[in-house]
Amino acid sequence: MIDIAIIGAGFIGGVHARLIDSIDGARVSAVIDSNVDRAQALAAPRGARVATSLDDLGDHVPHLVSICTVSAGHADLAIAALERGFPVLVEKPVDITLEAAARLADAARLHDRVVGVVSQRRFLPTAQALREAIDAGRLGKLTGGTVESPFFRAQSYYDSGDWRGTREYDGGGALMNQGVHALDLLLWFLGDPASVSAASACVAHERIEVEDVVGAAIAFRSGAVGTAFASTAAFPESGVRLSVFGTEGSATIADGRLTMRFADDEVVIEDSAPDGWSTIDWAHRAQYVDVLAAIAENRAPAIGIEDGRRALASVLGIYESAETGRAVSLI
């Protein structure tokens, strides 16, 4: 049996627990949270032990530790797990500073353990198919791309936790916490960014320190140019839309469908999932399966620290540009 310990018994911890429940041969073996009642509520139905810290696990040795806490502190908790010899899966973002991400990368190398960073949209069939087409050269030379993440969060979302919407704990707003998944996809398709120029604002929410709308222009090292938009003030939210353009074809992912257009052909692929599953949760589950396989096979996971660091660097560069009004180099 594969034992997985979850740190953080909030909403995301519950999502992870349900994903683990569905994987044959895996179980939630421990739930760690400073709020014992909350940890107990998540652990009890699964017969898992409850702890308030990794030290409280005693002689229990999980095969994987999943970090599901507030964004600030992701790296410190992951490092603590690595120091005890445990592989780690870190929820996005990898942390809220590049210094923290660098410390985590150093710890992973030192302790030689698997570290995965959640970015489940890469596991959607549409995303996988587009990446395969790009790698095969079907789109020709890539010239640009766009991504839109128009989400909606009521004021009650930010009021539900003292940490939500704070720079200290959340690290950012619509881009750091909602749009980062789709931004990561754009980076996965177009490569390393060279510079960003951005504008952001908080236009529809109160009592938060972060943006609820942001737009950015991104110059890529390849010469391609892209744009990214994210919001938590777009009602009714319409879901992620992403396009990639090339000299021999173009592709768009929207509403769970990938449409690729070429000179003499059009290819349409739709996301799918088993009954009872949303496509995004099934993709999240697929990332879990990959991380567990990486541990068993002693290989790197499909999405690791460098992927998380690149997405974080892009987000922070966009924030810096929005604050200063100047383009920010990411090289």
pLDDT tens by residue, 76-125: 999 999 999 999 999 999 999 999 999 999 999 999 999 999 999 999 99
Say whether both 9 and 94 belong to one domain: yes
pLDDT bucket at 328, cuts 50 / 70 / 90: very high
Distances (CA, A) of 128 to 4, 157, 253: 27, 32, 11
Averaged pLDDT for residues 319-329: 98
Question: Mean pLDDT throughout 140-144?
Answer: 99
Task: List alpha helices for the chain, DSSP H.
Answer: 11-21, 36-43, 74-83, 98-111, 125-135, 155-159, 180-190, 279-297, 305-324
Total domains in the fold of the chain:
2
pLDDT in tens, 160-183: 989 999 999 999 999 999 999 999
Co-location of 93 and 241 in the same domain: no
> What digits encode the pLDDT tens for the residues 272-294?
999 999 999 999 999 999 999 99
Tokens of 49: 């032990």
Read off the pLDDT band of 152 (50, 70, 90): very high
**Residues spanned by the domain of 149:** 121-276+308-329
- Going by pLDDT thresholds of 50, 70 and 90, the confidence category of residue 28 is very high
Average pLDDT over the chain reads 97
Query: Do 108 and 125 fall into the same domain?
Result: no
Whether 111 is in a domain gets the answer yes
Taking only the tens place, the pLDDT of each residue in 15-25 is 999 999 999 99
Residues 163 and 56 in one domain: no
